[in-house]
Structure 1
């Protein structure tokens, strides 16, 4: 815990500083949600195909990034909201796309199910 996944349109791959984002996200998660640094784990999953509205996907005018943070239960709604706002701000800082692609970024913090186990 926390389990973090970052799904993103691969079209922004070159513009996405994943190393810097992960480090900053782990620091924010420790500070805001009282996680342990060694417990922070992030997986990046590029999507080869992104569809947006009625746009022809071949135009690649839009890109999507969605970050999901799974935390053990017990954080307040205020803590979760503060963390999602921090995630969005970090995405702004770590994605520098100069190609004119419209970026759609979102984040959510969810409680891990009580059945969650790790080794």
Structure 2
């Protein structure tokens, strides 16, 4: 924890530098939410099919969801969202003739019910 879940359009496979994105998020976000960088975990899932608006097929998308434990201020959550959005915009580029939509959401996980195990 924190968890960074990233879903991205299949067409972005060659134009989204996912490893650079993760490195930068893991470097920038800890200070914002007061969590050690070693605690950040990012996973990526490619979206094979999506449908936007009224069927606009010229859009590729990156959806980022950050899951953090409760207790951060609204200002910290907002700054985290904006920082991650800006990092994603640096590393995800729409292929020629297409548009990029990028969404970031910060969600809180209840501390009382969160459990983990690691070896």
- TM-score, normalising length: structure 2: 0.91
Distance in 2 separating the partners of 1:37 and 1:82:
17
Conserved? CA contact 2:70–2:108, under 8 Å:
yes
Q: Which residue of 1 aligns with 2:32?
A: 32
1:115 maps to what in 2?
A: 113
The residue matched to 1:14 in structure 2 has which SS? coil
User: Which structure carries more helix by proportion?
Assistant: 1
Partner Cα distance (1:72, 1:33) in 2:
9
How many residues align? The count is 116
Structure 2 residue aligned with 1:94: 91
Paired with 1:40 and 1:27, the residues of 2 have a C-alpha distance of 9
User: Which residues in structure 2 correspond to 1:1-119 (within 5 Å)?
Assistant: 1-55=1-55, 60-113=57-110, 114-119=112-117
- How far off is 1:67 after superposition? 0.6
Take 1:100 and 1:88, find their aligned partners in 2: how far apart are those partners? 22
Tell me how far apart the structure 2 counterparts of residues 86 and 37 of structure 1 sit (CA, whole Å): 15
Structure 1: tracts of 5 or more residues without a match: none
Q: Aligned partners of 1:100 and 1:30: how far apart in 2?
A: 36
Does structure 1 conserve the Cα–Cα contact (< 8 Å) formed by 2:33 and 2:80?
yes
Gaps of 5+ in 2: none
Deviation at residue 101 of structure 1 after TM alignment: 1.5
Q: Alpha-carbon deviation of 1:39?
A: 0.5
Match of 1:15, SS state, is coil
Give me the whole-angstrom Cα distance separating, in 2, the residues matched to 1:55 and 1:73. 37
Q: Deviation above 3 Å: which 4+ runs of structure 1?
A: none
